[in-house]
Chain A
Amino acid sequence: MSALAGFASAAAGWLAPLAEWASAALLLGGALLCATGGLGLLRLPDFYTRVHAGGLADTLGAAAILMGLLLLALQDGAFLVAVKLALIALLLHITSPTGAHALVKAAYSRGLRAAPDS
């Protein structure tokens, strides 16, 4: 038992910097994706195309940030916090396409036309 604990702590000691770097990369990547989504909102021409840009922040952007936080939580041994972060990611991936669909369906049935192709 103590050998196992020793092995686990040795592995944790070795893995800790790795997890920290992976977490930093995920947080940075997620932030970049969310910023890209924002840039897309500004650059794209009409409502329907802008929904696609919002999708960047909704899907991989949010997921990467949450996974980065999850790694940090796991490293601190906060298993229950990690579970909650994973559940938030799951919930986001169910609710955000539902919300996006509700928006575009409302726009479409109210007769909003897509911008002519440039």
Chain B
Amino acid sequence: MRVGRAAATFALLGIAWVLWSGHFTPLLLAFGAGSCALSLWLAQRMQILDDEGEPLQIASGLLAYIPWLLWQIARANWQVARLIWTPSLPIHPQMLRVPASQRSELGNAIYANSITLTPGTVALDVRDGGILVHALTDSSREELQSGEMDRRVSRIESGGAGAG
């Protein structure tokens, strides 16, 4: 497991290095491999190569979640932009707590960041299995309270295959 994770990390670092540099001469490729190895060794020493520091286990779930999240962000952008251009400024700001059903802190962080990423809702505080949220309008509050985002983030955690 540890060897597998180290190999996967080295491969990911290598891909990142090639994409950033775009150099393919042997000398520079060797430098790249060297810096990947150095980074890997440092990360091992810092003991950050775990499920939280490098959450490979949720990669497939994240890939299914991100398109849905982007669509929600686009929709929320449109709603808030329309609100700002409306002369009467029909906002109804309010604070509320929503339950966060994720099992890990990583899942909580993904949920809270998703809330903040969608304009109209901002995560204020995360504790005791709940998130304190500031919502701009009743409709953004209701959308959050429907719990769909919470369920989808929890599905990422439980190992992916989370579309639908």
User: Chain A interface (Cβ within 8 Å of chain B)?
Assistant: 33, 36, 39-40, 43-46, 48-49, 51-53, 55-56, 59-61, 80, 83-84, 87, 93-94, 96-98, 100-101, 104-105, 108-109, 114-115, 117-118
Contact A104 B122 (CB under 8 A): yes
Determine the main DSSP class of B at the interface with A: mixed
Interface SS majority for chain A: helix
| Assembled-state Cα–Cα distance A95/B156 (Å) | 20
Residue of B nearest to A94 (CB): B113
Q: Tell me, in angstroms, the Cα distance from A32 to B117 when the chains sit together.
A: 19
Whether B22 pairs with A59 at a CB distance below 8 angstroms is: no
Question: Could you write out 23 A-B pairs with CB less than 8 Å apart?
Answer: A33-B77, A36-B85, A39-B84, A40-B80, A40-B84, A43-B89, A44-B89, A44-B91, A46-B93, A48-B93, A49-B93, A51-B122, A52-B121, A55-B120, A55-B122, A59-B119, A60-B74, A61-B77, A80-B19, A93-B117, A97-B112, A101-B116, A109-B125
From B80, B112, B118, B122, give the contact of A48 (CB < 8 A). B122
Chain B: residues with Cβ within 8 Å of the partner, total of 32
